[in-house]
Structure formats: C-alpha cells, structure tokens
Structure 1
C-alpha cells in the first residue's frame, strides 16, 4: 500500500514544487508568506517546499522582504537562481542555425548563430554543425555557472507528435528525419539531455504568449513567415496540435487553387504569394542577393513609395487576409499575431489584410485584434529555449544540482 501511495504523493510534491517556482517567477522576489498566500497553502507546507528548492539550487535567498499582508516581521526574499539549470534552444532555419541558453529567470545568457546549407541540403550537413553549435553554447553556459537541463529544437516542418521526427520539411527537402540520433549527445557533459523537437511556428507562438508581457491574449492565431509560412493556434493558453501534431500549416492553404506549384505538391498555396521569396520576386528584387540585403532593399523600396514593392506587399497582405479569414470563421480567435518577416513589413501588409478580413469574416462585430510581434525573428529560438527551461520548472524533481530536490 505504501508503494502505491508513493506515486500520487510524488506527483503532488512535484506539482507543488512547480507551483512555487512559477509563483516566484511571476511575482518576482517573494517571501514564503507571500507565496503561501498566493497558492493557498500553509506557511509550513511552503517552507518545506522552499527548503527543498533551495537545496536543489533552483531558488536563492536575497535578504529581507516585507511581510505578506502588511506590517510585521519581514521574511526572506526568495528568487529564482541565475545559476544552476538552463534551457538550450536551437533553431534550424533554411539559411541559418541558431542556439541560445536561457536561465530559469528567463535571461538569455549565451548565444551563437551561423549560416547553414539548409535548403535541399542533406540532413547530416545541417545537423552536424548544429550539434557543434549546441556544444559551443553549452560550454559557454557552463562557464557562467549554468547547467544545461534540456534541449529544444525549432524546425520549419511537420513534427510527429511526441517524437523528434521531422515528417516533412518542404523548404529543407527533408522527409522522415529523426533528430534524436544525431543530437543525442548535443550539449551534454555526461548524461544525454532531454530532447524536444517542435515546429517553429508553435515555438514562436509560445514565445509570444510567455514573453509578451500580458499583451498577447490566451486565445490567438500566430502566423509568421520567412522562406515559408507557418502558423500556430493557441486556445486558453495551450497549443492546438491536432491528432498527429500537424495543426497550423497555414502556408499550404490554397488561396488561388489554380495558382503556382508549391514545394508541398499543391497549387496556389499561401506561401507562393506571401512568403519571402514570393515578396522579393513580385517586387523585382534578385533572389541571389544575400537575404538580409534583399529584405532591406524591399523595405527601403516600400518606404520610398516604390510601385513594385508596394504592389507586392499589398498582394501578399490580401493573400494573408484570404487565408486568415477562413481561420477566423473557423476558430473565432481573440487576436491574430504577425511574426517573422510579416512583423517587419506589417505597415504595408495590414491594410489589404484587414480589408480581406472585413469582407470575408462571417461573424458580426469587431474583427480579432491585429497584433504585431515584438520578438521579430527571434520568436522560434526563444520559444525553444524557454520550452527547454520549463522542463525544470514543470518538474523540479527531475533536476539534479549537487543533491536531488
């Protein structure tokens, strides 16, 4: 009977330890009494949990804090540690690789980026330098007193739910690529790190939700673009993943069913009209220019009233509005969030996008709020790193820092 009780008791302990960590993360430095009041637990129970977290290196004491509820003997201020565990986030882009380390306070502590032959390159040619980049950032993190606890990877493709397998990534030319074997030792000093792999749009949406400072509601659709277009649906603060984990492939919604052939095999997909290559092509900007230069030229041309640039952006906004109108009719989200390149060119995309929405949305009343990401191109990478660090925050019992919590 005691053995049977151990499982539920451990789960209750794990959940309460996690609740304490998230409470301190949200409230900032807090006394035990303040945490107890917030969680509705006794001070004795919270003190026991806090002592475990202090021993495990997840909380630190920062000196006196005002007593909860007003005057009284001050407690000790508790804060998340800026040493101890960190999460490693990695991003596989079509033309770049990026890795960063985020501590449990949410601060980026180390970062690296390099070019990548991602488009139609062999997986090994991408994953070998990615593993090296992860090892480099992990080593820098350890030099700062941090211990990598997990690795999360953002990829521009479909990831089978609950696996590390990229089922299909048209813009990389990948099918059925399992990232677990080549990344098994990435970032590890001894034991392999837990590995999480997810679609870049999903991780970008989580970054918007977690790092938006309350600006982003808990029900929204996030759509972003680079070489491709991805989207993610967040309902009541959780991702809508779909049966196989493939929800959100807005880039392959047909907006012109008899239009151009897409890399996915279909015709007239949104990507053919609103992703980076389509924008540059329609604006008459050479595709063989460095990506950053080409996008800077597009923005400069648009800002100076260039006819081709403005026409390309107006058409792209209309295509986006067409795709998003169906999404709004189906899901009724509170907000639509534009990320990636779409955020950069939002001033020129939004008028035609909103016009299509107004003309095609069935429900009466106001449209969903149109928001522009403040994270820029960093969303997927930051979402990956914060997903990795939440492995510790969600399950403090899994983390070992000298003594097990």
Structure 2
C-alpha cells in the first residue's frame, strides 16, 4: 500500500541479467544517463563494447568506472573481470571515460611539474602563459594564486603528460621518463622564447623530488629512488608532481621535510619559504621541532613562536609547549605532533615569528582573511539553497491534498528503574 510503480518499455531483465545506467564523462547531468540490460557474467571489456555501440562512440580508447555514493567516478574497472565478480548490481551507474587502461601490472601516472615559491622558483611568481600548455597537453598549467604580499603559499603546477610504466619499475626510472618529457617541453618553451625558459632546465633525475598529489597539492613524499612503484601503493588515480632541487638529497625514514616561512615584522605577510629537514629521532615533540627551527634560523629557542598552516581552512595553529604542565601520563600520550590537532607530515607549512622583533599573537595574513570571507559567503549561499529547497518541498506536500493523520493527546511517560544494590 502506497508504493509507487513505474511502467517501463522493454522486456524485464532475468535473474541472471543486470539493468544498468551509463553516461559519458564525469560531469553527468540528470536525464543524460542511458540504459542497458546485460548478462552479469560478461566481462567489463564486453560491457564497455556494448555501451560504446549503444552510445555511438567510435574507437576503443575508453574505459569504465563505477559512480560511487557521492556521485563521483571511482577506480577504473578491470576489463578482464566479470560484472558479477566486481559486485555490480542492477541500478548501478557506470561512466564511460576517455583513455585506454594500461595492461595488467602497469600504471598510467599523470605527471606534473611543481616549482615551489622562493628565490629559486623563477616562474612560480608569475602566471604561466595560457598558450604554453596546450602544445603539450589538453590540460593547462595550473597556478594557484594567493593575494599580493603572500608569495610563499602559492603553488604552480604544469602538466607534463601521462607516463605508462610497470609497477615493478623504480621511482628513479619514473623520474627518468619524466625528465625525457620535460626536455621536450623545455625545447618547445625555448623555441617560443618565453621569459622563464632559463629556469626550466633539469640536469639529472637525482635533482628531482617526487610527491604524490591530493587535491592538486603535494601531499605524500616518495623518498627512496630505488623503491619499486608497487611498494608505494599509488593506485590508478594517483597523480605525481616533480619538484626541482639545487642539490641531491637523501632523506631517511626519521626525517620530515617542512616548508618554513619567517614572518616579516610589522606586516601581515611572510618571507620566502625554505625547506627544513627535521630529524624526529628524538620524538615528534613540540620542543624538538622548536629547537630545530631555532637552530635553522639562528634564533634563541625562547624567542620564537611557530604555527602550522591549514590551507583548506586558512588558519594557523600555534605549536607551543602546551603539554608541559600536564601529568607525565598524559604527556606521554599527547606529546606527539603526528596526532591531533596538528597531524604534522611532509610538506606542511610552518610559520615562524621572531619575538625579538614581533610580539603580535596573530599569524594570519590578508590572504587568509579573503579566504575565510569567501568560505563564509559560500556557506551562506548553500544555506539559502537548502532553505529554498526545504520550502519548495513543504509547498509540494501541502498542496498535494494528502490527508494528515490526527495526533492523539500527549501523555506523560514515567520510567521506573529498580535498585540493583
């Protein structure tokens, strides 16, 4: 009683068949999905062929991904596996994505060039020309710009291309293939006589630092050049960016690479970012980090304040000796910057304030103010949209004429709990 049934054209699928939706690309709009009925025992390759024929797409340079619960494309589906083995169910939506999957045991890794801001980053401080990237790929250079006066937190990325490589290959071999692509790009840039061409040369793969990316930002540092790619567990959606170095580095498992920025006294901005290698052999403590920062900048440890930057929130969290006055039992459990609230890792930005010249408690910048205001406006817009949708839904139900069930009178509720003493 009360169920809604839909009458659809075509013969109903049998118990061994699946009714699936599919669409082209990842930007799927409501009503653009197509439908197909296939046997659950067919392979993903056969299902892909059927969907390409029904959608009228030529060629075979496509692969399938399943739409996940948040309406985004998931991991690519293995073409040799059957739909039943992958637990594809009736009603699922599959996405036809351009690009053929690499053979089993191979990875197709999107590679980016990353130049952090600072004195050595000659073209990170300016926008890349829009006509440079299309000659290399359909993707454009992606400069992430901040407000004027906040250069250290900019990120500049240039897409190099996709590298197809075996999972058994080492990180050094991946860097070598990327350098070959980069030399081609460098030659093209020099031929175009662009002003930043002199800062693009790479002499050796050993002068490259590799990062796994998340949300178009360097996230996880890939340390050992001789380590095989499969040991990093990159996955099929991982993107990697390469950062040029002035000299070779050999980071150990106990070393943490941090971006440090010295705040300019009297101004809400920072100087150029510098790399600090923090040895955590003595523990991930606030005191150890403060001492390392003080030694790096030749400042008294009691005359500095440090804070970690959270770019997604535009906030700075001071790292102080907040746990010195608690009991030893709690200190042993809490005195680690790996856990909350800091979750310190490679690539994090650390702001340093020299108390000899600046005793202000504020670490924020003008860019942070702008970012927070944009987030607030975005939140207000979403709230208004939800309220409008809620009001529209209530109007629909109120005009539907559905009889409402009258509620009985409210009565008090008493709960008696027995004594177990």
- Greater C-alpha radius of gyration: 2
Please give the TM-score of this superposition, normalised by the length of structure 2. Answer: 0.22
Please give the TM-score of this superposition, normalised by the length of structure 1. Answer: 0.22
